[in-house]
Amino acid sequence: MFIKGQSIASVAEMGCCGCFGFAFAKKQKKSTPNSNVRDHIAQKLLLNDEVEDDDDDDDEEEEDEEEDNCSYGDDMSETEKGDHEAFKNPSERSEDILLYRTQNGLICREFPVKETRTVVRSEDENGNKMVNEYVREYKIGSGSYGKVVLYRSQVDGKHYAIKAFHKSHLLKLRVAPSETAMTDVLREVLIMKMLNHPNIVNLIEVIDDPNADHFYMVLEYVEGKWVFEGAGPPGGLGQNVSRRYLRDIVSGLMYLHSHNIVHGDIKPDNLLVTAAGTVKIGDFSVSQVFEDEKDELRRSPGTPVFTAPECCLGLTYHGKAADTWAVGVTLYCMILGRYPFLGDTLQDTYDKIVNDQIWLPEGLNPQLKNLIEGLLCKDPAQRLSLEMVAVHPWVVGDVGPIPQFICWCKRNKLKNEQISDESMIIDTD
């Protein structure tokens, strides 16, 4: 059984899937009852990690019949379905906001995502499967919505991580009373089309042939693994590495929040590290967009052990503050190699998150202790903001405050304001 204080390395041994957030729970194979197996599966679901089958079929054509027939929320009560619908449909739908921004050129990238309306599936001279210019190498992740496969482009020779979906499967998979998994995927695409930041996984191309069932998201390939790869007890990643990673996470999340985007599932699995040691935030499948600073949500779709206290109570909460709590849990894990609040069941975990005091070892760096306690403050109104984290003494260290990123849309805004000011001066003269 996974007990309180168990290390991240032990969690990794359970088979965490950290490839672009494809960590959905599959239907389990029937087996002889075994208490250890049940405990293992229960903890996997608490961590929102996939309980994988032993067989790993790389055949691009094969689609799991169980996945086709299952639907997220089939075992929900009517009240729970209503709660989920409330989360999926804030007062102003993310999809409507995203479409408005797209139609009015309000995107944060100098060069738009490439959109390809034709799918050509073939083989290269070595018999390797191809999608358009991309040569398939091997699968690097999977989940209920689809799979993530490593491809190499014949045009530029670079590797790309491609999320592959079957539209027919997405349309059958209901995630809320009035929405299917296709809604989630299309919202994720729309969000990623907006983004351009060094600490965000970049969407390169969308391949969607209206006459084909296949749908692809071509993403930059981050060669490194999730942030806990290689971390072992008892010291986690160490303060220097954790500080560097945290600075990247906060920089990327501040960028998202400044564009009124709530990630909704910040956790190590969704934080990929490049060969150069840069952290990039991935998986926007449960993210939401708001028209203004009013980021109120009702139910959290994120991972239980990273859920903020206010989200455990079934009340309205602020998405940005919940993201910040998840950053605190991630930092705690990086420093101490374990989760701050983890019970044997979902309800036990929520009870600990809401009621238990955080444990920190004696002798911990006082500045780091202050930062962790500020991030994991149970009162969201008193919780540290990301702006405060960016200038916190422990984060600043010997490097300095996290630099402000001037994104494309902000540069354009500043440029237009400057032109407007100059025009006013000329008119006055």
Catalytic residue among 49, 208, 248, 265: 265
Q: Is 410 annotated as a binding residue?
A: no
**Residue type for 248, please?**
D
Report the C-alpha gap between 126 and 147 in whole angstroms: 23
Q: Is the dihedral of CA 415, 420, 421, 422 positive or negative?
A: positive
Report the C-alpha gap between 343 and 189 in whole angstroms: 35
Residue 410 sits at the vertex; the CA angle it makes with 408 and 413, to the nearest 5 degrees, is 110
* CA contacts within 13 A on the Cβ side of 328: 31
Contact status, residue 132 vs residue 119, Cβ threshold 8 Å = yes
Report the C-alpha gap between 105 and 168 in whole angstroms: 31
What is the 3-state composition of the chain as percent helix, strand, coil, each rounded to the nearest 5? 40, 15, 45
Report the C-alpha gap between 65 and 143 in whole angstroms: 13
Give buried/exposed letters for 354-386 (b at 16+ CB in 10 A, else e): beeeeebeeeeeeebbebbebbbbbebeebbeb
Q: Cα Rg for the chain, rounded, in angstroms?
A: 22
CA distances from 386 to 251, 332, 339 (A): 9, 16, 21
Paired sense of beta strands 121-123 and 114-116, if any: unpaired
CB atoms closer than 10 angstroms to residue 428:
6
- Please provide residue 41's backbone torsions phi and psi, each rounded to the nearest 5 degrees: -65, -40
Q: Is 53 a residue of the active site?
A: no
CA distances from 391 to 249, 394, 410 (A): 14, 8, 21
Contact status, residue 140 vs residue 282, Cβ threshold 8 Å = no
Specify binding-site residues for ATP.
163
- Active-site residue set: 265
Specify binding-site residues.
163
